[in-house]
Amino acid sequence: MLSSEETAVKIEHRKQAEQVKGFLHHFGVLYKARFGTNYQCFFSKDTKLVKKLLEDSHIEELNNMAWLFFNCQSDFIHKAGHSIGVFYSQIHKLKEQWHYSTNGLSQNYIKELMTTGELGNMVRL
């Protein structure tokens, strides 16, 4: 029988695995919507990077950053490609631009801007 500590660790690992899987799915949906083809996930590499991102960010924040990643006007991202590795390398810029673009805006208004694509037009990396 597992101790309560071992059970808690297993539950935490399962929760993290579900978040990683959910984020990779979300990223893939955004990729397909943008480019019309499936994202070719490199699971061992991409999973490690997403786990690192989840150490410092909530899943909702990462989902918002992924949306911004696919909708921002960045020459670097367009040239480097829309991969998890590039996303990981640009996370600080994305967070800063999200903050500057949405500072003082209500969450409902931000969602509306995301839906219409206007938020992506507001952001330049």
Q: Structural domain of residue 64, as residue ranges?
A: 4-122
Number of domains in the chain: 1
Higher pLDDT, 102 or 56: 56
pTM summary value: 0.78
Split at pLDDT 50, 70, 90, the class of 87 is: very high
Residues with Cβ < 8 Å from 71, sequence gap 6 or more?
A: 114, 117, 119, 120, 123
| Residue 5 in this model has a pLDDT that exceeds 70 | yes
- Cα–Cα distance between 82 and 94 in angstroms, integer? 13
Tens of pLDDT, residue by residue over 14-68, are 999 999 999 999 999 999 999 999 999 999 999 999 999 999 999 999 999 999 9
What mean pLDDT comes out for the span 82-104?
87
Q: Compute the 3-state secondary structure of the chain and give helix, strand, coil in percent, each to the nearest 5.
A: 80, 0, 20
